[in-house]
Amino acid sequence: MRLKDRVAIVTGAGSGIGQGIAEVFVREGAAVVIDYVGKPGAADETLAKIKAAGGRAIAVEADVSDEKQVASLTEQTVRAFGRLDILVNNAGIESKFPFTDFPLDHFQKILAVNLTGPWLCAQAAARQMIRQGGGGRIINISSIHEDLPMPTNAAYCATKGGLRMLMRTIAVELAAHQITVNNIGPGAVYTPIDRDVQANPELEQQLMAEIPLRRWGKPEEIGELAAYLASDAAGYVTGSTFFIDGGMLRNAGSL
């Protein structure tokens, strides 16, 4: 119960890594707001799992790249649970094109979700945490690609590199309010969108060859690291990226 009585927003928590984080947070005692976008019911699976475990959670639809929707997300969180202690910026998208053919509208959308989104959410969360008297945790789900180039994925890599410097800068600024800010940089973590890779033995073997531990990561493993960074045990930890990639960053070429 490392997060007992804490309140957390996890963006993009309808599935995948965000869902894994939300489930671990609830198990550790937190109330969780599941942010999602898209079709109605996109957060139903996460919400059902949490309710079945006896946890407290609500689902809120909010586009993280929209300032008004982010403000509403924060307001609904406080209305439901009385406060906000933890923000996890997990929502993210990518599109792959050769750089010389990269459509501007795809670049702008990736920038809006992956970098403007964390900016807006962190700003709204920090304001609320300061109103409460200070103290809080902001955790960004970045990627090994904040360091590692990935050809045909320039926009995604650029946003993750930008997220690193955003984290480092606001960690220094917000320290005066006892708000810590850190990044988690996952490598290859298996989620349903990776079924095509797993279904192709040759492609999966190529990927595993880049990972010293020779396996996919699990969403709940990202959740465990996020729970540590959100807990009192990490009260003196701020301004850093924590890579969780099976050693991939130390071994990989440009995937």
- Which of 36-40, 57-61, 105-109, 195-199 has the least mean pLDDT? 195-199
Q: Encode pLDDT of 3-34 as tens digits.
A: 999 999 999 999 999 999 999 999 999 999 99
What confidence score (pLDDT) does residue 40 get?
A: 84
The type of residue at 106 is H
Q: What single-letter amino acid sits at 183?
A: N
Taking only the tens place, the pLDDT of each residue in 102-156 is 999 999 999 999 999 999 999 999 999 999 999 999 999 999 999 999 999 999 9
**pLDDT band, very low/low/confident/very high, at 198 (cuts 50, 70, 90):** confident
The candidate with the shortest Cα–Cα distance to 136, out of 179, 186, 98, 168, is: 179
pLDDT in tens, 155-184: 999 999 999 999 999 999 999 999 999 999
Predicted confidence at residue 148, as pLDDT, reads 94
Length of the chain (residues): 255
pLDDT for 59: 97
Q: What whole-number distance in Å separates Cα of residue 123 and Cα of residue 115?
A: 12
For the stretch 61-101, pLDDT in tens is 999 999 999 999 999 999 999 999 999 999 999 999 999 99
pLDDT at position 255 over 60: no
Stretch 211-236: mean pLDDT: 97
Structure tokens at 225: 């690291």
> What is 7-250's CATH number?
3.40.50.720
| CB proximity list for 17: less than 8 A, separation 6 or greater | 90, 141, 186, 189, 191, 219, 222, 223
Task: Give the pLDDT score at 208.
Answer: 93
Q: Which of 36, 156, 190, 236 is catalytic?
A: 156
* Residue indicated by tokens 């307001």: 75
- Is 254's pLDDT higher than 60? no
Under a CB-based contact definition with an 8 Å cutoff, are residues 123 and 71 in contact? no
| All structural domains of the chain with their residue ranges | 7-250
Tell me whether residue 156 is one of the annotated catalytic residues.
yes
